[in-house]
């Protein structure tokens, strides 16, 4: 049957478990969302996230095993998100993974959440070949990584302040749209004019391939204060103009970085990669430069355990093992 690995993901506000064969064939992928828990607060509340993980993690793992038709004794290994993320959330997943590894004598590996996002692309019919450039864009992260060879990464650029997904959440809150911000802003923007408001794009003048989103968030806040209360049409225009500005910055800087590094393959992944205009705009821009774009389907872009299991299987195959003293690392770096 190949190597059967169970992966567990609990880095933020999704509790997930998945079973994969040889890191490619998904037997099951179960995700329990916490959107209803955090929606009243307009953002993730770490303490509430940890408590919900504790409540649902065992049922989620049991469901993943049942859907895959495997028992714990059938597994060849375990993978768990070690970081980065919310420390309380990470600890829930790590504690369960270590307990299962100890009781069943299974090899265990800790996975970097961002590498998991990159490995989501290896679960598609069109997996990327090395070397490639990966834009990992989510609620907590916006970064560009050059992957010259398997399991090898170099940081090319990153956000200097807010992550793109965080900016979406904060602007959605400013506009009174709800949580999570990404999907709701995209939906609202469909009714608006993306050229209605000229929100400024941050200029990085020191030559770094970095991003910055705090300026545009402030510009939206000032616009809302000056013109409020906003009508429905105005809210749609703000959402569309904000989204267009963020997409423009992400696409422009990613393509420039790819040309600078000299790669012909670009990977778009992370929760914000589910955004339709971002996918379409990056596809058009990369095609213009003869660059092949890899984008996982939206269900693999948002946090899930299939991507963690895929990355973990690769690490296990490379001989990596985590000791039972392994701890959660909330600020774990990929490169």
Residues 6+ apart with CB under 8 A from 218: none
CATH of range 130-295; options 3.30.420.40, 1.25.40.340, 3.30.429.10, 3.40.50.720: 3.30.420.40
Phi, psi of 333 (to 5 degrees): -105, 150
pLDDT in the model for residue 333:
96
Please spell the DSSP secondary structure of 29-83, one letter per residue. Answer: EEEEE-HHHHGGGTS--HHHHHHHHHHHHHHHHHHHHHHHT--GGG-SEEEEEEE
Tell me which CATH homologous superfamily contains domain 4-119+301-317: ATPase, nucleotide binding domain (3.30.420.40)
Query: Residue 4's pLDDT is what?
Result: 98
Nearest to 144 by CA among 215, 83, 210, 216: 210
Nearest to residue 235, comparing CAs of 184, 277, 280? 184
Q: Which of 243, 227, 134, 268 is nearest to 184 (CA)?
A: 243
Burial 210-249 (b: 16+ CB within 10 A, else e): bbbbebbbebbeebbeeeeebeeebbbbbbbbbbbbbbbb
Residue partners of 83: CB distance under 8 A and separation at least 6: 11, 90, 110, 112, 113, 328, 329, 330, 331, 332
| Distance from C-alpha of 146 to C-alpha of 207, rounded to nearest angstrom | 17
According to the model, what pLDDT value does residue 39 have?
A: 87
| 78, 132, 155, 278, 297 from 270: Cα distances, Å | 22, 16, 16, 12, 11
Yes or no: say if 50 and 89 are a contact pair by the CB < 8 Å rule.
Answer: yes
Question: What is the spatial distance between Cα 158 and Cα 89, in angstroms, rounded to a whole number?
Answer: 24
The tens-digit pLDDT sequence of the chain (335 residues) is 799 999 999 999 999 999 999 999 999 999 999 989 998 888 899 999 999 999 999 999 999 999 999 999 999 999 999 999 999 999 999 999 999 999 999 999 999 999 999 999 999 999 999 999 999 999 889 999 999 999 999 999 999 999 999 999 999 999 999 988 999 999 999 999 999 999 988 888 888 899 999 999 999 999 999 997 889 999 999 999 999 999 999 999 999 999 999 999 999 999 999 999 999 999 999 999 999 999 999 999 999 999 999 999 999 999 999 999 999 999 999 99
Tokens of 276: 């339709």
φ and ψ at residue 115, rounded to 5 degrees: -65, -35
Rounded to whole angstroms, the Cα distance separating 75 from 211 reads: 41
Give the strand pairing for 25-33 and 265-269: unpaired
In degrees, to the nearest 5, what angle opens at C-alpha 255 toward C-alphas 124 and 122?
15
pLDDT at residue 56, as a whole number: 98
Can you spell out the DSSP letters for 217-262? HHHHHHHHHHHPSPPHHHHHHHHHHHHHHHHHHHHHHHHHHHHHHT
Strands 132-137 and 142-149: antiparallel
> Tokens 């904060």 belong to which residue?
170
Same fold, 4-119+301-317 and 130-295: yes
Domain ranges of the chain: 4-119+301-317, 130-295
Helices and strands (H, E) in the chain, number of each type: 11, 10
């Amino acid at each position: 049957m190949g190597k059967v690995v169970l992966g567990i993901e609990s880095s933020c506000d999704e509790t997930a478990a998945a079973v994969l064969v040889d890191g490619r064939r998904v037997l099951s992928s179960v995700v329990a969302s916490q959107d209803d828990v955090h929606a009243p607060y307009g953002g993730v509340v770490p303490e509430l996230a940890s408590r919900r993980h504790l409540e649902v993690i065992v049922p989620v793992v049991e469901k993943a095993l049942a859907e895959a038709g495997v028992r714990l004794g059938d597994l060849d290994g375990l993978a768990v998100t070690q970081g980065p993320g919310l420390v309380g959330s990470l600890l829930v997943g790590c504690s369960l993974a270590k307990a299962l590894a100890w009781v069943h004598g299974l090899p265990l590996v800790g996975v970097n959440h961002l590498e998991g996002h990159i490995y989501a692309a290896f679960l598609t019919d069109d997996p990327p070949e090395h070397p490639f450039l990966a834009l990992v864009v989510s609620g907590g992260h916006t970064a560009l990584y050059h992957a010259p060879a398997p399991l090898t990464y170099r940081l090319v650029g990153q956000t200097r302040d807010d992550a793109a997904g965080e900016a979406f959440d904060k602007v959605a809150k400013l506009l009174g749209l709800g949580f999570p911000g990404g999907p709701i802003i995209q939906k609202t923007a469909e009714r608006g004019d993306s050229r209605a408001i000229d929100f400024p794009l941050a200029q990085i003048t020191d030559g770094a391939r970095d991003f910055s989103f705090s300026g545009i968030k402030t510009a939206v806040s000032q616009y809302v204060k000056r013109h409020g209360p906003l009508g429905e049409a105005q809210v749609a225009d703000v959402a569309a103009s904000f989204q267009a500005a963020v997409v423009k910055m992400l696409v422009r800087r990613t393509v420039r970085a790819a040309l600078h590094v000299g790669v012909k393959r670009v990977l778009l992944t992370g929760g914000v990669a589910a955004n339709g205009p971002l996918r379409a705009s990056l596809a058009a821009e990369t095609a213009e430069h003869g660059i092949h774009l890899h984008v996982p389907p939206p269900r693999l872009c948002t946090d899930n355990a299939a991507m963690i299991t895929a990355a973990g299987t690769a690490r296990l195959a490379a001989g990596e093992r985590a000791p039972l003293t392994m701890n959660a690392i909330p600020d774990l770096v990929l490169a």
